[in-house]
Structure 1
């Protein structure tokens, strides 16, 4: 099960943080199709946010086709976002984990690591943008959203 963490100082609305954390868990394989999300009551108890905020996040994810709300039963994952290489036990994930450990040992904080990875990803995409097909209008927003 996923444990949501709300950063009140981030400037990102709590419902967006819930959606982003769920998407991240779906990409990493932490959440799988059929898994049940915590109830709104459980999320409220753990995060002290308004129940309507949780319900908005769950509705947004349902509209995106990621979850299904089953009245009286809960909210269940209906689609995975995992890609090969993102699983907990993948060699690529282990290499990245080792790299992050070296970056932290070198004195970089989490925000520094994210900035470095984002810059490297942006540079790679810029160098290879002629290799890829044109993206749909909404993809740029989604890529930025995914990096948060």
Structure 2
């Protein structure tokens, strides 16, 4: 039987089986989502791959970025020391990521990080789920306020 339908079906089957047929791009696997990301490392979990910066705040040669991963639905803080303002002994930066169910509410969840800052360096907090409002801040090693991002 020499049907045009059979010929078309055979051609389609050949194209579908071809190694050159285009496939949908693979989505990178991540190690956590939502509250499963709480207190986990953003880079180790693969959440840094699609991260964007929601907000930044700077003071005294230090910038704190509020980072967000859509794939993981989690947020964290990245602190970047860009200057030499912190080269004195015992100078360090404490930084946090906070989460709250109310925009102006007290923190209900947090992840902290601290680093000794000497010249240029980059450090991260652990993540928190991005289910409500999140923000980030840092203090210098002398207990003085550094900067705070807006709430997102």
TM range (shorter): under 0.3
Q: Give the strand-richer structure, 1 or 2.
A: 2
| Higher gyration radius (CA) | 2
TM-score (norm 1): 0.22
